[in-house]
A and B are shown apart, each in its own frame.
Chain A
Amino acid sequence: MAAPSPAAVADAIENSPMSKMLPLRRRLMAASCALLGTAVLHAEDSQDQKTNQSILGQLLEGVSVDSALAYYHEDGRVQAVEPVVDVNKEFSNGQSVNLNATFDVLSGASPNGALTSRQPQTFASPSGTSLTGAKHTYSVGAGEYPVDRNYSDVRGAVGADWQVPLARLTRMDLGAKISGEDDFISATLNASIAHDFNEKNTTLSFGVSNEFDRLSPVGGTPVAGSDYSLFEKTGNKTKDGVEALLGVTQVMTRNWIAELNFSADRFKGYLNDPYKIASVLDAAGNTTGYVYESRPDQRSRKSIFLENRAAWNQFSAAVSLRYMQDNWQIRSDTVELRPRWTLSDRNQYIEPTVRWYKQTAADFYTPWLSNSSQVPEIQSSDERLGAFHAVTFGIKYAHKVGEQQDTRGSELSVRVEYYQQTFRQPEAPASLQGLDLLPPLKAILVQVGWRF
């Protein structure tokens, strides 16, 4: 085909007046002009913004922040204020880093493990060395549940997590956390690896975690099982634990995904709560003395966790089951249901929660000890090791604002939860009949959150 003369090409473009063109050509030309005319200014603006990005701008790219402030209040007991902040940065090479910090300020009344008595009781505060004198002691009236009203603690924790892709379908996660409070320091390291199969429909993950804790109780560590009135104290104690977690996640259908996790952990060392005591009662039910608790120096736990998440249009739900058992003979079942309704403008949702929890008592748990037999080597009256069931009712409302293609927008949320523990009441000795020996725990949690 002969090349047309240079003039020909130029002519062809210039000498086709709009009037001679068919409607299609005219329309197309008009559409092209509209595209190229209006797009000019704004494309230039965005280009300038990109090239003028400062160091700070580059640092903040791919960063998202999640923060929350929670207020927790137990009826007649502990209350806490807990601010939390979590910063996540995604890098263009697929890696991501997460830094988080938590602060806990607790105060109020904490149960000390002793049993309600028909007589008033006096206890020493943790730093106290005698049961007499107003300083460093506290009293509890007749028929009152024994709690230390001067409980207070401040805790700070920081954690870091680094996720890095190892291969197209494999990624690794490394994490570290440090937590410190008045009488307790904890350091944790964890590592896990995850791999995708079946066109990313199946994910297998395996992780291990190692925790090291150091306790320095106020007033010294009581000798386990010793007589409370002797104030036999020793120095700092430690405990450490290892955990392994194996998980499978499977996409079931376009609307349903399931997750199954197996985990096992083993802790050894000083596992007591240094501030908990057990009441020693005589046959009639009068308190004759107290001893410090004494738990085993080893604990192994195993658990299975199954969660199903499903979503259709504006409704989604997550249902999870967990079964745990340990070598202290505690068994627990947890069922949690979390449906979510996204409102019609898709920027708001309401998410109620219902959770039901039940645990059996540790084999060495006893609400009190009898003075007619020797104090067992292993015993504890800590109600958290006892048999109880708990329910949680919660509701969350979240609202997303300001989302556009360049800005993620932010989400404000508010969450309220009611938590109640109901204990299995023990068979009370004669003199204690009619007393609420293990009163229920009632607590409320209110949280506001802000993500951006």
Chain B
Amino acid sequence: MRHLFLKFAFLLGLGAFAAGCSSLGVKPWQRDVLAQEAMQPNGNPLDRAIDDHLYFSKEASSGGRSFAGGGCGCN
């Protein structure tokens, strides 16, 4: 059930990409909001690194946003 929901969410995301990759978007001068830190792919890298290290050592999954490799012996 849960997996169905997530699969649907992914299809939605994929659909948005497929449908609109060339018609979606903004003009160069409309990128002011996108420049904010909260909109960056990795605006707070240390927070993410510390969280990722925690989850890598306690869970069976890692990565997604970036490379999954742990590089440490904690798993």
Contacts and interface: CB of A to CB of B under 8 A. Distances in A.
Q: Do A's and B's CB atoms come within 8 Å in the complex? A: yes
Interface of A: 66-68, 70, 72, 82, 84, 86, 102, 104, 153, 155, 157, 177, 179, 181, 183-184, 186, 188, 190, 197-202, 207, 209, 211, 213, 215, 241, 243, 245, 248-255, 257-261, 263, 265, 273, 301, 303-312, 316, 318, 320-324, 326, 328, 330-334, 340, 357-359, 362, 384-385, 390, 396, 415, 417, 419, 421, 441, 443, 445, 447, 449
A199 B30 CA distance: 11
Contacts of A72: 54
Contact of B17 (A104, A248, A273): A248
Given A84-B50, A309-B39, 14 more contacts: A155-B73, A190-B67, A198-B25, A211-B69, A251-B26, A252-B16, A260-B13, A309-B38, A312-B33, A316-B38, A323-B10, A334-B61, A359-B60, A415-B47
Nearest to A241: B69
Contacts of B26: 201, 251, 253-254
A307 B33 CA distance: 17
Nearest to A179: B71
A186 B71 contact: yes
Interface in B27-75: 27-28, 30-34, 36, 38-39, 41, 45-47, 49-51, 53-55, 58-61, 63-73, 75
A396 B65 CA distance: 20
A188 B71 contact: yes
Nearest to A318: B38
A70 B63 contact: no
A301 B34 CA distance: 32
Name the 4 nearest CB pairs between A and B, nearest first: A201-B25, A184-B73, A305-B64, A316-B38
A324 to B, nearest CB: 4
A306 B13 contact: yes
A264 B75 CA distance: 18
Contacts of A303: 61, 63-64, 68
A245 B13 contact: no
A68 B13 CA distance: 34
A257 B46 CA distance: 22
A321 B9 contact: yes
Contact of A362 (B16, B22, B55, B60): B60
B36 A86 contact: no
A449 B66 CA distance: 22
Contact of B60 (A181, A207, A332): A332
